[in-house]
Amino acid sequence: METREEEVLIGVIHRLIQGTGHIAVGANSPIPAAAAFLAQALAPPGPIVSLQQSPENNLWTDGGRELFDCASQGRIDVFFFSGAQIGGQGDINLVAIGDYKSPKARFPGSYGSAHLYFMVPRIILFRTEHSRRTLVETVDFVSAPGVSAPGVYRRGGPVALVTPLCHFAFDKAKGRFRLETVHPGHTVEEVLDNTGFAFDRPEAAPVTPALGADAMNLLRGTVAEKIARIYPKFGSDVWGLQERSMA
Amino acid sequence: METREEEVLIGVIHRLIQGTGHIAVGANSPIPAAAAFLAQALAPPGPIVSLQQSPENNLWTDGGRELFDCASQGRIDVFFFSGAQIGGQGDINLVAIGDYKSPKARFPGSYGSAHLYFMVPRIILFRTEHSRRTLVETVDFVSAPGVSAPGVYRRGGPVALVTPLCHFAFDKAKGRFRLETVHPGHTVEEVLDNTGFAFDRPEAAPVTPALGADAMNLLRGTVAEKIARIYPKFGSDVWGLQERSMA
Amino acid sequence: MARICDLDEAIAGIEDGALLAIPADYAGNAMTATRALIRRGVKELRLLTVPTSTLQAELLIGAGCVAALETSAVGFGELGSAPRFTAAVKAGTLPIKDATCPAIHAALRAGEMGNPFGPIRGLIGSDVLANRPDWRVIQNPFPPHDPIVVVPAIRPDVALFHAAMADRAGNVWIGRRRDLFHIAHASMRSIVTVERIVEDNLLQDETLAPATLPSFYLDRIAVAPRGAWPLKFGSEYEEDTQHILAYIRQAATEEGFRRYLDEHVFGLVAA
Amino acid sequence: MARICDLDEAIAGIEDGALLAIPADYAGNAMTATRALIRRGVKELRLLTVPTSTLQAELLIGAGCVAALETSAVGFGELGSAPRFTAAVKAGTLPIKDATCPAIHAALRAGEMGNPFGPIRGLIGSDVLANRPDWRVIQNPFPPHDPIVVVPAIRPDVALFHAAMADRAGNVWIGRRRDLFHIAHASMRSIVTVERIVEDNLLQDETLAPATLPSFYLDRIAVAPRGAWPLKFGSEYEEDTQHILAYIRQAATEEGFRRYLDEHVFGLVAA
């Protein structure tokens, strides 16, 4: 079986969450969830993984606000965001394209980003469309800024951006992305052509490492089964696992 | 059966809580509790009565803070306080006699008074010792002040002080107590002799009215039984009801 | 104290112009009641989603019941965007206060505590804050004396939600969806639909009492079996995903949305 | 995540000098653990009662374990005053921060939310406020712009309490005493004694989950049957009033208190 694009992204995120204590996964995030369950499976009990949609991983008993309370307190180490636009300085836009008051496109809203982006030490950005339309120099609406002025309380922010083409690291001091690795089958030129923001890069960008054989076996075994119980469509699309009703 | 002192106090408090919506009763307050249950029994369903120690009247499911939240929001209409000292301007002292830093006598502490005294519209003070030692011109430590400067947010405060001798009303505008009624068997002179603060009084203070026959029957019947289940010692002392174990 | 009544009497407690709070779609949404509200022709609602919404906000907005919206997000996640919400915002016909989830929680929490305001970290430098003139930045009175956002308390006129069961005294068992406590505590009063009425007092059962909302927070309670349909309800029933996908397709146009209303709101009463 | 261990190992998590939070006596007090702490000779505790205490604070103070106290009240209500607390305050040997119940709740709530402070109305003009230089009065940033007290957040180093049951995953069922949630949420970690261990995962039972504190808030859990004795514990056992009355009489003198410790703390281990 060939390595699928989703498995490459899971592998990158899995490396990025090494050694963290509590990973919270938001709604509709099968790729981050798979990476988190893989970390648990590889070195049990591994990190705490909380995931509201999953009965076995729903650790919350104080309503929706508990995640934000825990993040504010520093109890959450990792969270994930995407964005309609992601800007070169790490800003994310979950709200509107064009003028905010009369937008060309409107998205659901900022969710918890304007707070979590400041409070969770490791925010991992992922975007399944790598294009000049999505990765832009400046976003049209800042749901959450990538960096803050001195004096503003901030303990968290973006550490990486993972796309179908590559893995960028975010340099907080410079407020810029830096190309870390390019996924197998893709090139630096492809990344340059499809990225709307300027970024730093090494002279030769390494290829994104594949998951080891043991990790891949676990991912395609128990982790895939667990993911398929929570995200039946994803389990079917990626691993051909039959959908099971949760009713 | 002669009317007992406790029954006179219950009668006064019963009149003071007429027409209120939610009466909260703190720990160890059988007299206020009896007045509140009497109001319920006389015109069912009557006011809401919440009382943490009583399984049938414990309406709280969000911990100890819920009472204070509700009071702050304006959901609680009546609460009761006593005081080691009660001052002529309505201040109460639940903390210390003498110098705060090296007190002659020390009491448990202010409990919720410093907040509830501002937030609950009708605070009824009761003190089972009517003396110059307890009712003083100026308290040694202000757990909660009777009146506040203009501009300070305040929707509540003391409305009355009930003792074994009499019923004082509190005049918010003047910041002074006024003698309303003197209990049967007692005199204005007795009140004057035993009160450490100056107070207003009518030319002739009326006698505290007794509970009507129906109310007294209810009080000595179903209300007394209910009180005895929560406060067995009080039920036995006042109405001779046999203590029942609640275990 | 709450009284148990029929659905139309229950929703009569939601007046035109009310500041109405509704929960996120994992917590218990009174969808049968929402359809009844639309049938009644409720107007000028100021809608607060706590903190996000899917079909419930979408239907009220599409049906023209909403004069103003405060939300952290309205959309169907993986299933797609909320077409009537999106169209209304793009057309500029829906005044919107864009928030962020924990800011809505903070404002309601201040309301729950009877406080005039509450602080919340983050937000500084965002366009969320830049577009909220009703929020303030103050200096933290304690070290490190950083600038910090404070939001004014919100006390909704009325909260509307769906729960599993109520007893005859008007207490309601909320279960694990503690959001419903927070919304009810903050709101002036709550109107609730339930799957069923039980005979025993919930507050006197030590296992059920911890997750029971006392009657004094509630105003009116109506029985509405499967009252959250087509949304998920706790462990009792799953989301009707096919219905929602069909809705999203149909509501892509105003005409399609009207047909949806005719069929599912004004026509047959959804079971 | 929490681990289940024996009582001595559990209380080893409470270090000398810790800011220790304990609940009020209706919520679930770890009295067996408190006696073990005294036997261990814990020192220099900064004790926070949430918001009041009876025998638990009294024993720790009398035994010399407490360097500083923040409380809204320490006393036995109708039964009498707390003799060792009273003696220590009068002697000036116990630095005390007198609070008021909702101010302690407000400070813990700010801690629970990860906020640096929280507002609380009232207090202005009281000697409670006058003796709290660590509190501030600011101007409400919103109308009516009244002066309002703000208290800094409290995040106790460790919370100690008693609950009914824990599962093997370290989740603890709290039941109706929601205070224990609030204390555990605010504290850096919690150490808990329980009446019993159950085999099924509490978070996967829809009836028990709503009142279950997830393992990740907890540090160590020990089984201590009748672990709240001589205090009341929920609906499981009543207060041993005769024991407490005898304590109050005996602890009227330092010598009497020492005899009480010899008998009930250092001598036979209370069942």
What's the rounded Cα separation, in Å, for the pair C207 and D207? 7
| Residue D271: pLDDT band with limits 50, 70, 90 | very low
Model pLDDT for residues B139-177, shown as the tens digit of each residue? 999 999 999 999 999 999 999 999 999 999 999 999 999
**Closest-CA residue of chain B to C181:** B62
Is A32:A14 a contact under the CB 8 Å cutoff? no
Chains linked to B by 3 or more Cβ pairs within 8 Å: C, D
Chain A nearest CA to D36, separation (Å): 30
Q: Which two tokens stand for residue D16?
A: 């000398």
What's the rounded Cα separation, in Å, for the pair C167 and C198? 5
With CB atoms and an 8 Å threshold, state whether B61 touches C111.
no
DSSP state of D81: B
Helix (H/G/I), strand (E/B), else coil: D45: strand
**Closest-CA residue of chain D to B27:** D77
Q: Which two tokens stand for residue C23?
A: 């929960």
With CB atoms and an 8 Å threshold, state whether A72 touches D212.
no
With CB atoms and an 8 Å threshold, state whether A69 touches D204.
no
What's the rounded Cα separation, in Å, for the pair A90 and A172? 9
Instruction: Identify the H or E element spanning D55.
Output: helix D55-62
DSSP state of A132: T
DSSP codes, chain C: --EE--HHHHHTTS-TT-EEEEE-TTT---HHHHHHHHHHT--SEEEEEESEESHHHHHHHHTT-EEEEEESEEB-GGG-B-HHHHHHHHHT-S-EEE--HHHHHHHHHHHHHT-SEEEE---TTSHHHHT-TTSEEEE-SSTT--EEEEEE----SEEEEEEEEEETTS-EE-TT-THHHHHHHHSS-EEEEEEEEESS-GGG-TTTGGGEE-GGGEEEEEE-TTTTTTS-BTTTB---HHHHHHHHHHTTSHHHHHHHHIIIIIISPP-
The count of CB pairs under 8 A between chains A and D is 40
DSSP state of A56: G
For residue D269, pLDDT over 70 is answered with: no
The count of CB pairs under 8 A between chains A and C is 143
Low-confidence ranges of chain A (pLDDT < 50): 244-247
Q: Which residues, including other chains, have CB under 8 Å from residue D237's CB and lie 6 or more apart?
A: B247, D226, D228, D229
Of residues C102, C125, C148, nearest to A148 (C-beta): C125
Question: Would you tell me the crossing angle of helices D101-113 and D179-186 to the nearest 10 degrees?
Answer: 50
Helix (H/G/I), strand (E/B), else coil: A62: coil
Is C43:C17 a contact under the CB 8 Å cutoff? yes
With CB atoms and an 8 Å threshold, state whether B61 touches C214.
yes
Sign of the CA dihedral with D206 first, then D207, D211, and D217 last: negative
Judged by 3 or more CB pairs under 8 A, whether B touches A is no
Query: Which residue, among A74, A75, A151, A67, has the nearest Cα to A111 in the 3D structure?
Result: A67
The count of CB pairs under 8 A between chains C and D is 77
What's the rounded Cα separation, in Å, for the pair D122 and B154? 7
B35-44 residues labelled b (16+ CB within 10 A) or e (exposed): bbbbbbbbee
Chain D nearest CA to C175, separation (Å): 6
With CB atoms and an 8 Å threshold, state whether C209 touches B62.
no
Mean pLDDT of C162-180: 97
With CB atoms and an 8 Å threshold, state whether D127 touches B101.
no
Q: Which two tokens stand for residue A109?
A: 């809203």
What's the rounded Cα separation, in Å, for the pair A29 and A34? 9
Side chain identity at A208, as an amino acid letter?
A: T
Query: Chain B residues with CB inside 8 Å of D144's CB?
Result: 153
Q: What is the mean pLDDT of chain D?
A: 96
Chain D nearest CA to C120, separation (Å): 7
Task: Find residues 106-135 of chain D whose CB sits inside 8 Å of chain B.
Answer: 109, 120-131
**Closest-CA residue of chain C to B69:** C113
Task: Find residues 5-64 of chain B whose CB sits inside 8 Å of chain D.
Answer: 27-28, 52-53, 55, 61-64
With CB atoms and an 8 Å threshold, state whether A109 touches C178.
no
Query: Chain B residues with CB inside 8 Å of D52's CB?
Result: 108-109, 111
Mean pLDDT of D138-147: 97
With CB atoms and an 8 Å threshold, state whether B61 touches C216.
no
Percent of chain D residues past pLDDT 70, beyond the cut = 99
D84 shares contact with chain B (CB less than 8 Å): no
DSSP codes, D151-194: EE----SEEEEEEEEEETTS-EE-TT-THHHHHHHHSS-EEEEE
The number of CA neighbours under 13 Å toward the Cβ of D27 is: 29
pLDDT at D268: 56
pLDDT at B53: 75
Query: Which residue, among D159, D177, D165, has the nearest Cα to D202 in the 3D structure?
Result: D165
B162 shares contact with chain D (CB less than 8 Å): no
Of residues A58, A60, A69, nearest to D114 (C-beta): A69
What's the rounded Cα separation, in Å, for the pair D106 and D92? 28
Helix (H/G/I), strand (E/B), else coil: D195: strand
pLDDT at D120: 98
pLDDT at A56: 79
Mutation target to probe the D interface, by most D beta carbons within 10 A, among C113, C181, C237 is C113
Of residues C27, C89, C238, nearest to A246 (C-beta): C238
D5 shares contact with chain B (CB less than 8 Å): no
With CB atoms and an 8 Å threshold, state whether C101 touches A112.
yes
Model pLDDT for residues B2-30, shown as the tens digit of each residue? 899 999 999 999 999 999 999 999 877 89
Is C82:C69 a contact under the CB 8 Å cutoff? no
For residue B189, pLDDT over 50 is answered with: yes
**Closest-CA residue of chain D to A23:** D216
Percent of chain D residues past pLDDT 90, beyond the cut = 95
Which structural domains are found in chain A, ordered by start? 5-84+112-134+145-246 (3.40.1080.10)
Model pLDDT for residues B193-226, shown as the tens digit of each residue? 999 999 999 999 999 999 999 999 999 999 999 9
Helix (H/G/I), strand (E/B), else coil: D41: coil
Chain C nearest CA to B35, separation (Å): 20
With CB atoms and an 8 Å threshold, state whether B63 touches D182.
yes
Is B7:B216 a contact under the CB 8 Å cutoff? yes
Q: Which two tokens stand for residue C203?
A: 């507050």
B89 shares contact with chain D (CB less than 8 Å): no
Mutation target to probe the C interface, by most C beta carbons within 10 A, among D178, D207, D233, D236 is D207
Mutation target to probe the B interface, by most B beta carbons within 10 A, among C115, C185, C218 is C185
What's the rounded Cα separation, in Å, for the pair C228 and B165? 60
What's the rounded Cα separation, in Å, for the pair B181 and C106? 48
C155 shares contact with chain B (CB less than 8 Å): yes
What's the rounded Cα separation, in Å, for the pair B106 and B113? 17
What's the rounded Cα separation, in Å, for the pair D126 and D137? 13
Query: Chain D residues with CB inside 8 Å of A54's CB?
Result: none
Query: Which residue, among A56, A61, A62, A67, has the nearest Cα to A25 in the 3D structure?
Result: A67
A72 shares contact with chain C (CB less than 8 Å): yes
| Residue C7: pLDDT band with limits 50, 70, 90 | very high
**Closest-CA residue of chain C to A139:** C127
Q: Which two tokens stand for residue D182?
A: 């609030």
Query: Chain A residues with CB inside 8 Å of C112's CB?
Result: none
SS3 sequence of chain B: CCCCHHHHHHHHHHHHCCCCCEEEECCCCHHHHHHHHHHHHHCCCCCEEEECCCHHHCCCCCCCHHHHHHHHHCCCCEEEECCCEEECCCCEECCEEECCCCEEEECCCCCCHHHHHHHCCEEEEECCCCCCCCEECCCCCCCECCCCCCCCCCCCCEEEEECCCEEEEEECCCCEEEEEEECCCCCHHHHHHHCCCCCECCCCCCECCCCCHHHHHHHHHHHHHHHHHHCHHHHHHHHCCCCCCCC
SS3 sequence of D201-254: CHHHCCCCHHHEECHHHEEEEEECCCCCCCCCECCCECCCHHHHHHHHHHCCCH
Chain D nearest CA to A199, separation (Å): 34
Query: What is the CATH class of D3-99+155-270?
Result: alpha beta
With CB atoms and an 8 Å threshold, state whether C216 touches B74.
no
What's the rounded Cα separation, in Å, for the pair A221 and B140? 73
Model pLDDT for residues C65-85, shown as the tens digit of each residue? 999 999 999 999 888 999 999
Judged by 3 or more CB pairs under 8 A, whether C touches B is yes
Chain B nearest CA to D176, separation (Å): 6
Sign of the CA dihedral with D266 first, then D6, D40, and D66 last: negative
Query: Chain D residues with CB inside 8 Å of C148's CB?
Result: 116
With CB atoms and an 8 Å threshold, state whether C181 touches B48.
no
First to last CA, chain A: 32
Percent of chain B residues past pLDDT 70, beyond the cut = 98
Query: Which residue, among D227, D245, D247, has the nearest Cα to D236 in the 3D structure?
Result: D227
Is C160:C38 a contact under the CB 8 Å cutoff? no
Chain D nearest CA to B184, separation (Å): 27
In sequence order, the β-bridge partners of residue A25 are: A51
Do you know the residue count of chain C? Answer: 271
pLDDT at A243: 55
pLDDT at A125: 97
The phi and psi torsions of A111 (rounded to 5 degrees) equal: 45, -140
For residue D270, pLDDT over 60 is answered with: no
Q: What is the mean pLDDT of chain B?
A: 94
Query: Chain A residues with CB inside 8 Å of C100's CB?
Result: 110-115, 143
Mutation target to probe the D interface, by most D beta carbons within 10 A, among B56, B60, B106 is B106
What's the rounded Cα separation, in Å, for the pair B116 and D140? 19
Chain D nearest CA to B3, separation (Å): 24
> Model pTM?
0.96
C94 shares contact with chain A (CB less than 8 Å): no
Q: Which two tokens stand for residue D181?
A: 């949630």
**What residue ranges do the domains of chain D occupy?**
3-99+155-270, 101-152
Question: Would you tell me the crossing angle of helices D101-113 and B65-73 to the nearest 10 degrees?
Answer: 100
Percent of chain C residues past pLDDT 90, beyond the cut = 95
Q: Which residues, including other chains, have CB under 8 Å from residue B19's CB and lie 6 or more apart?
A: none
DSSP state of D78: G
For residue D105, pLDDT over 60 is answered with: yes
What's the rounded Cα separation, in Å, for the pair D142 and C133? 12
The count of CB pairs under 8 A between chains B and C is 40
pLDDT at B204: 93
Work out the angle at residue B190's Cα, subtended by the Cα atoms of residues B186 and B196, and round it to the nearest 5 degrees. 135
